[in-house]
Each structure stands twice: as structure tokens, then as C-alpha cells.
């Protein structure tokens, strides 16, 4: 294939290399490679479709002759050296700011410039720094520095991913051209990071990323996995005792080194001016006290400022004016076309050495598409590169430890809430189904008792007494004429924006939580989630005029998707990956909704007239009518119902069964204190069990003054005990704080001036 690779004098060898390579190709070959590369890219990045791609890997690499690359290498080395000097000066003498009025005026007026940050490294040893530079080349081989990124290695992960895929796809060309390997650079980077810890020879290294919504999240995840670092969010880290810790299910793990992605001005909300979600309280003080090393150091964020770029540029050799920036051929689907590009080069700045990556990420500028077309630079080298895999800092044993015992608390908490929300969604659907059935039956059996029952149901729905958040039922007198509002109450419960417990809201919370743990989901679990996402959108369309049977059918489908999702997880998720947490959340939610429904159905003010229908309501909403009838035949009493729903440890929907299951599941939770004592959550589970079983059934079922006071009291106590159990799990495993009643007691913390 022939194309117009522009000729020049400065980069002759490089142009010849690229021209020769392109001449060997035909359009069909390139098209096939482009398709395959895109497929591999999607597969690697776990993307659903091509529209989610941020970068599109071009199937033709950019070759560079070794001699031509040497000048770029020298240029990047020189810029890195200047940046290193400037950073050192900013931390110490600040002569650049004192003597250079332009730099001082521009830099200090920028919000990025924070004097607090400069103070952090007064006494610290030099920290390895990974810098990237955007450089434009012209045909004569002249360079212009366009931008510096000192915050994070953005683009390095993309380059690495592209290199791995292109190398696989174009293995012949790769070996034929003796392409310089990236491994020595990555190896040096990994070793420099590991050596940066001042206290620990086997440091605990984490990569601090943004959230899953961050556009660079996939790159961060890839790079962290490749280098063997744990990828964490700011919420996974906490500052205690002036040190930084990773919150895991088995306790707090001290972090020695943080490789950061967030901007340097956003990392500590107490010391930095800007509030941010990617921040860790007390991080600055931990750095100041040398308790943690952050890479890149916070000061390097300043390098991206335009005045710094200009300052550095002014100290570089001046090239003649660039009037014709370099263009490279990119595959456009039906042919190649020349596009302007920028080269993103990387360097690792160490106290006594600067290492330049023998490659660059070529980014097409002025791309009209949503994605940025990229190439990776293949630098030809005379040396035969030795092939050896990158050594992982986390050994397989440590990996197992990390995934088995040290499940990150955020993941565990997400799984807990996922189980909890799934149960809430299912329970909500069951109650709405029952409500619609009763509403449909009413015109057929419009007797007083059915009317009153429907009115009671309507109150339960409006007041959320049988569905989350399980508010106490306040009986209000409703007239039969108010039944026309029953359908409106149903629609409100399904989709009302002002109702935080509406079905739509709960369903949205469920899907949001599920996506938070997407790394643990298999494809079978993702499909039902997508269907549920569609159902959430469908809920917006329903009105009071939507027929009940259509609503009912849709709710049944949602229930089906929920159960499929659960089945997919149960099928593949191991206990070590937190399956027990999912069940833990679900059992607590089921217990809480059962208690609320018993309270609403068996302790209301209309027991004299509505006891039997209410009993049926409870059994139906708990899907227990069939079991109840089979067991008790015609003896439909509240006492029997309570026996089944509260005390039967073999019945999967009873409270006693939930308690036994919770006790079994709690054995999976890591114990962080001496085993001779019961843990706070174990104490609470025992209390729940005792409360459930200690009151005689006759007493529970008895009515005094028209009310079931004893049952009401026991249920209220159980609800408080469950609340306390949730708090115990929350504080012990998720936030790693103390419960109020287990804390050491002292009235005041006193700081005398002498101590300061």
C-alpha cells in the first residue's frame, strides 16, 4: 500500500522505516487488524460496546529509528532534569519565584499553588517521580514542549495496553524491527516505588484511583494490576494515629506508599482549600511525619501550570519556529489519512538518575470523534532485548491473602448493602402484588370488611409500614369514598420522586450498588442488571391510567431478573470473595421487614374487626400461606402464625431461621479481638435470639384492651436490637470505629499547653 508519509531531512531514517512498513501492507490487512485490535481492546477493558472506548488503538505503530529517538531521549531527559531542579528549588530556596517575576506572578496567583503543600517536603528525602510530557515534532526533527503532567502517569497504562495488544497482533513486525522493550523502565519504576518507603523493606503499596465513574478508571485498574499494586479509592483509606491505613474486613492495614492519580490540590480536605471526593483526611500530616510516601509528591502537580511549562521552555535550546508539525497516517476505516499528532513521553525522575521510556503514546490531535486515536512508538534498537516477565511485588500467597482475608471494607459493605437492597426490592414487589390483588378483588366482594381491609392496606402503603423504611402505622380514619386514591397510592409507591423509599428509588440504589462491585460480577450477573436498568426507565412512564395487569406483569419480570441475578452470584461467587456478606445483608433485611409486617398486621388498632384478614395479609406477603395451611389446617390463629413466623428454626422465612443463619454467617467474619470474648456483633445476635425465644407464645398472642401490647413490645425491642447489630457490623468491619457502649469512658480529652 502507498500513502504520503511526508519527507523531511531531520527524521529521514524514521520516515523511511514507516514508509517501508506501510508499503508492505494492503488495505484489507489493515482493516482486519483494526477490527481485531478493537475487539481485543474491548475485551481487555471489559467494555460493553465500542462507544465506551476513550482511546482507539490504531493498527499501525509509529516506528522510530534509534538515531532519531536519541535526540528525543536527550530532549525529554533535559526537560525532566529542569523539572527536578525547579521542584527542588520550590521546596527549598524558592529562588525561581523570587527572581522570575513572570513565574511568580502567574504561578502564585493560580489556585494550584498552595503554600501548605510546599511545606510538606521540607525535611523529606527525595521521592521518585513519574513525569509525562506532551511534545510536538516537526518534519525537521525540532521539538516543542506543549504540556507537562506531574500528577499521575496518565497515558502510561494506555500505552502499555496498546503495546501488549499490538505486539500480539503484529508479532512478526515486532521481532523483525528489534523494538526496544518497555520492561526495563517498568521494572525500574516498580523498584523505585518499592524502595521509596522509609520504614518498611516490604512496603504495602496501593494505587489511589478515582471512582469507577472516573474516565481513566480502566487505565488505572490495568496499570495497578500490571504492576501488582492494590487499586483503592480514597474511601478505602483512613487516617488513624497520624498514619494511613487500608480498611479491610480483617482490620486496618498500614499503607506505606500511595501511588496517586487524583490532583495534588484535592488530596486532604482539611489542609487543601478545595473539597473533593478523592481525598483522605490527614494525608498531609502523614506525609509531613514521614509516615507515608505519596508518589508523585504533591508538589509535582504545579508542573502542569502554563507558567511552569513556559519557564521550562525558555531554558531549553531554541529551535527554529515550527511551521509544519509532524503528521502520521491513521486508519480511518476505509483508508489511511495523515493527522497531526502529539507525542506523550514518560520519564522516571530519581534522585541520581533520570530514566526515559523508550516509547511514547502518540495521540491524534483535533480528532472529531468521541475517542482519541492512538499509536504506540516502536523504537528500533540494535541491542537484543532480553525477555523476562515483570516481577510482581505481591506474591501469589500475598494475593491470596489479600483476596481471601483482607477483602476491602468498601467491597464488603457494598456486598452487604447489595444483599440488603435485593431483599427490600423483592419484599416491595411482593407487597405491591398483594395490594393490587386486593384492589382487583374489591369490586367483586365489596363488603364492609373488605373495604376496611383495603383502607388499612392503603394506609400501610402510604405510611411505608410494611415496606422500607418500616414506619410505625398511625391509624387514621378513612372513608370508603377515599378508595379511589388507592391506585394513586400504588403509583406513588412505585415511582414518586419525593418518596425516598419508592420502588424506583430502591431499585436504583440496588443497581448502583451492584455496579460498584462490577469487578466481582460475571456476565450472567450483568445481563439481569441491564434489564433492571431498563425497568427503572419504564417506571417513569407509568401513570394512574396504566392498567394494573401491565404493572403486575412488569413487576413479575423485575422479580425474575432479581432472582436470576442472585442465582448468578450464588453460582460463582466464593465465600472468600464476600458471598457471606451478601447473605448477611439479605438476612438482616428479611428479619427487619418481617418484624415490621408483624407489627403492622397484628398490632394495629382494628384487631376487633380485621384480625383474620390481617393475619392472611401477613402470611400472603411473607409467602407463607401454603405452609401455614398445611401445618395448621383449620386452626388459623395468631398464636400459630407467630409460632411459624417467629420461632420455627427450620422454616426459611421465620425470624428464628434468619437468626440461626446470621449466626452461621458470622463465623465467616474475621475476628479481630481475643477469641475468649464474644464480639460486639455476636453479643447482639445472642440478645436477638434471646428476645425472640424468651416470651411465651400465649403471652405474645394475647390482647389487652384491644391491643397486642406484649407482642408490640417484643417486636420493638427486636427492631432496636437489629439496629444495634447493623451498627456493630458497620463500626467493626466497615468504618473501623467504636460503638458508643464499648468505648472507653472518659469525660474530656485535655491538651495542656505544655504538651503542644
Partner 1 sequence: MKYKITHTTVYQYADKVSLSQNQARLMPANLAQQTCLESELRISPVPSFQYSYLDSFNNLVTHFDITVQHQILAVTSTHVVEIAQRPQLELVYIDTHWEAVHSSVHRPLNKAGLDIYLHSLPTTYTHSTPDILAYTQVSFSPGRDMLMACKCLMERIFNDFEFDSQATTVNATAPDIFALKKGVCQDFVHVALACLRSIGLACQYVSGYIETFPPEGEEKLVGADATHAWYAVFLPSHGWIEFDPTNNVLPSNQHIRLATGRDYLDVAPLKGLIYGGGDHQLDVSVDMNRIN
**Which residue, 634 or 756, is less far from partner 1 as judged by CB?**
756
Supply the minimum distance, in Å, between the C-beta of residue 445 and partner 1: 45
**Which residue, 239 or 516, is less far from partner 1 as judged by CB?**
239
Work out the burial of residue 92: count CB atoms within 10 Å of its CB; fewer than 13 is exposed, 13-18 middle, 19 or more buried: exposed
> DSSP label at 683?
H
CA dist., res. 453 & res. 448, Å (int): 8
Does 749 help bind partner 1 (rule: CB under 8 A)? yes
**Which residue, 266 or 361, is less far from partner 1 as judged by CB?**
266
Tell which residue, 721, 698, 493, has the closest CA to residue 588.
Answer: 721
Provide the phi-psi class of 228: left if phi over 0, else alpha when psi is between -120 and 50, else beta. left
For β-strands 237-240 and 243-248, DSSP reports them as: antiparallel
Residue 711 near residue 642, CB atoms below 8 Å = yes
Supply the minimum distance, in Å, between the C-beta of residue 308 and partner 1: 16
CA dist., res. 521 & res. 511, Å (int): 12
Stretch binding partner 1 (CB under 8 A), from 66-74, 278-286, 595-603, 658-666: 278-286
> DSSP label at 361?
E
Does 739 help bind partner 1 (rule: CB under 8 A)? yes
Does 557 help bind partner 1 (rule: CB under 8 A)? no
Residue 610 near residue 708, CB atoms below 8 Å = no
- Residues from 286 through 325 that contact partner 1 (CB under 8 A): 288
Supply the minimum distance, in Å, between the C-beta of residue 116 and partner 1: 5
Supply the minimum distance, in Å, between the C-beta of residue 111 and partner 1: 8
Size, binding site for partner 1 by CB under 8 A: 46
Does 748 help bind partner 1 (rule: CB under 8 A)? yes
Stretch binding partner 1 (CB under 8 A), from 29-37, 280-288, 461-469, 535-543: 280-288
**Which residue, 612 or 731, is less far from partner 1 as judged by CB?**
731
Does 119 help bind partner 1 (rule: CB under 8 A)? yes
Stretch binding partner 1 (CB under 8 A), from 124-132, 202-210, 264-272, 314-322: 264-272
CA dist., res. 531 & res. 557, Å (int): 9
CA dist., res. 265 & res. 154, Å (int): 17
**Which residue, 224 or 280, is less far from partner 1 as judged by CB?**
280
Judged by CB under 8 A, which of 32, 270, 522, 563 binds partner 1?
270
- Residues from 701 through 730 that contact partner 1 (CB under 8 A): 727, 730
**Which residue, 269 or 525, is less far from partner 1 as judged by CB?**
269
Judged by CB under 8 A, which of 115, 384, 397, 634 binds partner 1?
115
CA dist., res. 497 & res. 115, Å (int): 45
Judged by CB under 8 A, which of 61, 157, 269, 358 binds partner 1?
269
Does 735 help bind partner 1 (rule: CB under 8 A)? yes
Q: Which helix (H) or strand (E) holds 205?
A: strand 205-208
Work out the burial of residue 182: count CB atoms within 10 Å of its CB; fewer than 13 is exposed, 13-18 middle, 19 or more buried: buried
Phi, psi of 108 (to 5 degrees): -75, -20
Three state DSSP letters for 47-103: CCCHHHCCEEECCCCEEECHHHHHHHHHHHHHHHHHHHHHHHHHHCCCHHHHHCHHH
The site string for partner 1 over 45-84 (x = CB under 8 A, - otherwise) reads ----------------------------------------
Residues facing residue 362 across a β-bridge: 343, 375
Q: Which helix (H) or strand (E) holds 348?
A: strand 336-350
SS3 assignment, position 245 = strand
Judged by CB under 8 A, which of 382, 384, 397, 743 binds partner 1?
743
**Which residue, 674 or 745, is less far from partner 1 as judged by CB?**
745
Q: Which helix (H) or strand (E) holds 336?
A: strand 336-350
Supply the minimum distance, in Å, between the C-beta of residue 284 and partner 1: 10
Place of cell 489493515: 30
**Which residue, 276 or 394, is less far from partner 1 as judged by CB?**
276
Does 699 help bind partner 1 (rule: CB under 8 A)? no
Alpha helices in 517-578 (DSSP H): 523-539, 548-572
CA dist., res. 480 & res. 451, Å (int): 7
**Which residue, 543 or 748, is less far from partner 1 as judged by CB?**
748
Does 737 help bind partner 1 (rule: CB under 8 A)? yes
Does 751 help bind partner 1 (rule: CB under 8 A)? yes
The site string for partner 1 over 225-254 (x = CB under 8 A, - otherwise) reads -------------xxxxx------------
SS3 assignment, position 202 = coil
Tell which residue, 193, 280, 583, 294, has the closest CA to residue 422.
Answer: 583
Does 276 help bind partner 1 (rule: CB under 8 A)? no
Rounded to the nearest angstrom, the gap between the alpha carbon of residue 633 and the centroid of all alpha carbons in its chain is 51
Q: Which helix (H) or strand (E) holds 327?
A: strand 327-331
**Which residue, 290 or 482, is less far from partner 1 as judged by CB?**
290
Does 683 help bind partner 1 (rule: CB under 8 A)? no
Alpha helices in 442-547 (DSSP H): 448-462, 486-495, 503-516, 523-539
Does 672 help bind partner 1 (rule: CB under 8 A)? no
SS3 assignment, position 726 = helix
Supply the minimum distance, in Å, between the C-beta of residue 610 and partner 1: 35
CA dist., res. 371 & res. 743, Å (int): 53
Judged by CB under 8 A, which of 32, 74, 273, 550 binds partner 1?
273
Does 501 help bind partner 1 (rule: CB under 8 A)? no
Does 123 help bind partner 1 (rule: CB under 8 A)? no
Judged by CB under 8 A, which of 116, 195, 524, 648 binds partner 1?
116
Residues facing residue 138 across a β-bridge: 325
Strand order in the sheet with 293-295: 230-232, 205-208, 257-260, 293-295
**Which residue, 537 or 744, is less far from partner 1 as judged by CB?**
744
Does 285 help bind partner 1 (rule: CB under 8 A)? yes
Supply the minimum distance, in Å, between the C-beta of residue 731 and partner 1: 6
Supply the minimum distance, in Å, between the C-beta of residue 744 and partner 1: 8
- Residues from 83 through 112 that contact partner 1 (CB under 8 A): 93-94, 97-98, 104, 108-109, 111
**Which residue, 238 or 374, is less far from partner 1 as judged by CB?**
238
Does 368 help bind partner 1 (rule: CB under 8 A)? no
Does 500 help bind partner 1 (rule: CB under 8 A)? no
Does 740 help bind partner 1 (rule: CB under 8 A)? yes
C-alpha cell at 669: 467474619
User: C-alpha dihedral over 217, 220, 221, 227, to 10 degrees?
Assistant: 180
Place of cell 475468649: 676
CA dist., res. 380 & res. 358, Å (int): 9
Does 122 help bind partner 1 (rule: CB under 8 A)? no
Residue 684 near residue 725, CB atoms below 8 Å = yes
Supply the minimum distance, in Å, between the C-beta of residue 595 and partner 1: 21
- Applying CB under 8 A, the residues found at the interface with partner 1 are 93-94, 97-98, 104, 108-109, 111, 115-116, 118-119, 238-242, 269-271, 273, 281-282, 285, 288, 727, 730-731, 735-740, 743-744, 746-753, 755-756
Amino acid at each position: 500500500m502507498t500513502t504520503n508519509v511526508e519527507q523531511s531531512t531531520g527524521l529521514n531514517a524514521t520516515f523511511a522505516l514507516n514508509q517501508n512498513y506501510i508499503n508492505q501492507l494492503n488495505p484489507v490487512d489493515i482493516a482486519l487488524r483494526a477490527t481485531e485490535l478493537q475487539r481485543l481492546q474491548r475485551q481487555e477493558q471489559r467494555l460493553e460496546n465500542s462507544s465506551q472506548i476513550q482511546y482507539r488503538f490504531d493498527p499501525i505503530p509509529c516506528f522510530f529509528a534509534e538515531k532519531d529517538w536519541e535526540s528525543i531521549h536527550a530532549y525529554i531527559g533535559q526537560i525532566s532534569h529542569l523539572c527536578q531542579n525547579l521542584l527542588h528549588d520550590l521546596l527549598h530556596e524558592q529562588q525561581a519565584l523570587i527572581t522570575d517575576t513572570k513565574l511568580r506572578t502567574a504561578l502564585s496567583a493560580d489556585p494550584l499553588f498552595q503554600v501548605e503543600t510546599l511545606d510538606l517536603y521540607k525535611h523529606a528525602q527525595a521521592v521518585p517521580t513519574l513525569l509525562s510530557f506532551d511534545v510536538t515534532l516537526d518534519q525537521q526533527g525540532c521539538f516543542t514542549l506543549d504540556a507537562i503532567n506531574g500528577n499521575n502517569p496518565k497515558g502510561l497504562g494506555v500505552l502499555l495496553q496498546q503495546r501488549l495488544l499490538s505486539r500480539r497482533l503484529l508479532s512478526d513486525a515486532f521481532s523483525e524491527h528489534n523494538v526496544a522493550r518497555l520492561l526495563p523502565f517498568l521494572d525500574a519504576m516498580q523498584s523505585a516505588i518499592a524502595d521509596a518507603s522509609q520504614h518498611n523493606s516490604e512496603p504495602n503499596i496501593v494505587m489511589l484511583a478515582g471512582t469507577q465513574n472516573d474516565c481513566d478508571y480502566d487505565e488505572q485498574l490495568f496499570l495497578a494490576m500490571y504492576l501488582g499494586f492494590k487499586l483503592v479509592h480514597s474511601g478505602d483509606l483512613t487516617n488513624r494515629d497520624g498514619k494511613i491505613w487500608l480498611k479491610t474486613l480483617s482490620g486496618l492495614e498500614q499503607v506505606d506508599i500511595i501511588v496517586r492519580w487524583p490532583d495534588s490540590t484535592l488530596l486532604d480536605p482539611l489542609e487543601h482549600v478545595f473539597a473533593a471526593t478523592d481525598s483522605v483526611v490527614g494525608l498531609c500530616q502523614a506525609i509531613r511525619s514521614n509516615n507515608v510516601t505519596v508518589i508523585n509528591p504533591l508538589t509535582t502537580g504545579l508542573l502542569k501550570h502554563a507558567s511552569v511549562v513556559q519557564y521550562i521552555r525558555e531554558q531549553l535550546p531554541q529551535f527554529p519556529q515550527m511551521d509544519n508539525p509532524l503528521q502520521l497516517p491513521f486508519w480511518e476505516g476505509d483508508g489511511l489519512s495523515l493527522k497531526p499528532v502529539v507525542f506523550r513521553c514518560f520519564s522516571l525522575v530519581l534522585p541520581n538518575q533520570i530514566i526515559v521510556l523508550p516509547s511514547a503514546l502518540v495521540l491524534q490531535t483535533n480528532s472529531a470523534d468521541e475517542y482519541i486515536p492512538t499509536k504506540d512508538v516502536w523504537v528500533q534498537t540494535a541491542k537484543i532485548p532480553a525477555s523476562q516477565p515483570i516481577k510482581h511485588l505481591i506474591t501469589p500467597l500475598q494475593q491470596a491473602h489479600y483476596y481471601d482475608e483482607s477483602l476491602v471494607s468498601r467491597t464488603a459493605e457494598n456486598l452487604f448493602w447489595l444483599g440488603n437492597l435485593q431483599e427490600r426490592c423483592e419484599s416491595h414487589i411482593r407487597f405491591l402484588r398483594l395490594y393490587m390483588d386486593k384492589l382487583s378483588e374489591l369490586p367483586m366482594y365489596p363488603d364492609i370488611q373488605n373495604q376496611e381491609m383495603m383502607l388499612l392496606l392503603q394506609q400501610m402503603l402510604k405510611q411505608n409500614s410494611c415496606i422500607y423504611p418500616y414506619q410505625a402505622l398511625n391509624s387514621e380514619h378513612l372513608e370508603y369514598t377515599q378508595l379511589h386514591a388507592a391506585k394513586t397510592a400504588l403509583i406513588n409507591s412505585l415511582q414518586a420522586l419525593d418518596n425516598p423509599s419508592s420502588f424506583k428509588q430502591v431499585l436504583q440504589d440496588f443497581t448502583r450498588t451492584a455496579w460498584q462491585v462490577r469487578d466481582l460480577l460475571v456476565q450472567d450477573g450483568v445481563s439481569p442488571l441491564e434489564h433492571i436498568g431498563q425497568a427503572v426507565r419504564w417506571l417513569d412512564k407509568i401513570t394512574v391510567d396504566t392498567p394494573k395487569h401491565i404493572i403486575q406483569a412488569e413487576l413479575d419480570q423485575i422479580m425474575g431478573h432479581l432472582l436470576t441475578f442472585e442465582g448468578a452470584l450464588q453460582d460463582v461467587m466464593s465465600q472468600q470473595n464476600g458471598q457471606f456478606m451478601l447473605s448477611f445483608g439479605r438476612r438482616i433485611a428479611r428479619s427487619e421487614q418481617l418484624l415490621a409486617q408483624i407489627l403492622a398486621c397484628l398490632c394495629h388498632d382494628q384487631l376487633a374487626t380485621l384480625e383474620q384478614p390481617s393475619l392472611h395479609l401477613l402470611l400472603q406477603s411473607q409467602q407463607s400461606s401454603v405452609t401455614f395451611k398445611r401445618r395448621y389446617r383449620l386452626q388459623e390463629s395468631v398464636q400459630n402464625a407467630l409460632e411459624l413466623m417467629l420461632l420455627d428454626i427450620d422454616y426459611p422465612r421465620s425470624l428464628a431461621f434468619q437468626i440461626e443463619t446470621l449466626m452461621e454467617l458470622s463465623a465467616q467474619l474475621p475476628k479481630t479481638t481475643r477469641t475468649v470474648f464474644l464480639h460486639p456483633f455476636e453479643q447482639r445476635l445472642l440478645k436477638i435470639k434471646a428476645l425472640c425465644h424468651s416470651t411465651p407464645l400465649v403471652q405474645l398472642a394475647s390482647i389487652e384492651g384491644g391491643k397486642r401490647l406484649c407482642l408490640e413490645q417484643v417486636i420493638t425491642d427486636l427492631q432496636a436490637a437489629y439496629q444495634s447489630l447493623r451498627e456493630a457490623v458497620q463500626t467493626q468491619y466497615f468504618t473501623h470505629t467504636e460503638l458508643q457502649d464499648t468505648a472507653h469512658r472518659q469525660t474530656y480529652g485535655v491538651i495542656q499547653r505544655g504538651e503542644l
